Amino acid sequence: MFESLIVQPIFNVLVFIHALVGGLPFGNFGLSIILFTIVVRTLMWPLVRKQLKQTRAMRTLQPEIKKIKKAAKGDRQKESMMLMELYKERGISPFSSFGTLIIQFVILIGLYQGLIRIIDDASQIVTFAYSWIQDLPLLQEIAENPDAFNNTLFGVVDLSRAAIGPEGLYIPAMLLVIGSAVTQFFQSSQLLPKDEDARSLKQILKDAQAGKPADSSEANAAVGRSMRYFIPIIIFFVTVFFASALSLYWFVSGLIAYWQQSKVLAEDEVEMEKIADEPDDKKIIEGEVIAKETKKPTDKPKKSPNKKKKKSSNKATKRRKK
C-alpha cells in the first residue's frame, strides 16, 4: 500500500519531469531532481509558511511563558490552562508543525525508495512508471537502450554513487553531503532567537549539579540551540553512505527552505515595523470610537435609593412640624 500510494506517485512525478527535460541538450537526471525539489517545495509552501509563522511565534512567546511558569508556582494544571489561554489569544497551535514534518519525511522516504530502484536497475525508470509516461519519447528511448539514461548532474557527479562506498571516497558526492549538512545548520540557526545572555546546555547542567536548577523553558531553548549542531551531523552520517542523488535532493531542499524562511521572517519584520510606525493618536481615536459604540445611549442613570430615603425623611419632618 505504501508503495502504491506513496512511492510510485512520487517516483512518477520525478520520471515525468525527467521525460520532459532529459531529452534537452543540457538535460540530465540531476536537473530533474532539482526541478522535482522546486515543485515539491512550491506545492508545500502554504503549509511551510504556516509552520514557520507558528514556530517563530512560539519562539517569541518565551518571555511570556516564563512569566506564566513563575505565576503558576509549580501548579501544573494552572500552568497548562494559562499556556492554552496564551496560545489561544495569539492564535498559535503548538502541534501544527508536526503535519508538515511528517509530509516532508514521507516524501523523503518515497523518493529514496524510488531512487534505489533506478540505481539498482536503470530499466525500472520505465517499468515502474505509469503507462502514459512510458509512451513519452525519452522513456521509449531508454526502454530500447538503458544506456541512454543520463544519471549524472550536468555530467560532473555520478548520482548513483555514494560519497563513501565500495569504490572508496567520491569527492563530488562528498561535496553534496557537506552542502546538505551546512544548509541544514543555517536553516536551523535562522529560526533561533538571539539571546546573548542565554546559558548553554552544558552550563545549565553544570549549574544544576551545583544546586541551581534551570527553568524548563530555558532548558528547552538550550536544547534547541544544541540541535542546530546535532541535526546536521546526523544528516552527514546518514547521507554519506547513500547514493548522491538523495544528497542532491536534500541540498537543494535546504537551499529553498532557507530562502522561504528568509521571506517569512522579512514579512514578520515588515508587520512589526508597521505596528511600531502606527501613530499613537490613531490608536487613541480608535479606542474612543470603540468606547462610544459600546456605550448605550438609551441607558439612564439609576436613581440612588439614598435620595428616596432623603425625600421620605423630609416629608416626615414636615408632618412633625405641623
In a domain, 322, yes or no: no
161 has pLDDT over 80 = yes
User: Does residue 295 lie within any of the structural domains?
Assistant: no
Structural domain count, the chain: 1
* Cβ-Cβ contacts under 8 Å for 201 (sequence gap 6 or more): 219, 222, 223, 225, 226
d(CA 47, CA 103): 10
What is the average pLDDT across 109-121? 85
pLDDT tens digit string along 90-99?
A: 777 766 667 7
Domain of 185 in residue numbering reads as 2-282
Give me the pLDDT at residue 271, please: 58
Residues 6 or more apart from 318 whose CB is under 8 A from it? none
Between residues 265 and 159, which one has the greater pLDDT? 159
Buried b (16+ CB within 10 A) or exposed e, 49-62: bbbbbbbbebeebb
User: Is 76 inside a domain boundary?
Assistant: yes
Residue 222 CA to residue 203 CA, distance in Å, equals 10
Domain annotation covers residue 318 = no
Weakest mean pLDDT among 9-13, 66-70, 101-105, 249-253: 66-70
Whether residue 316 is contained in a domain is answered as: no
Residue 297 lies in a domain: no
How many CA atoms lie within 13 Å of 142's alpha carbon, on the beta-carbon side? 27
Would you place residue 247 in the very low, low, confident or very high pLDDT band (cuts 50, 70, 90)?
very high
Q: Is residue 320 part of a domain?
A: no
Question: Does some domain include residue 197?
Answer: yes
Residue in 16, 41, 254 with CA at minimum distance from that of residue 114: 16
Q: Is the pLDDT of residue 171 over 90?
A: yes
pLDDT for 203: 60
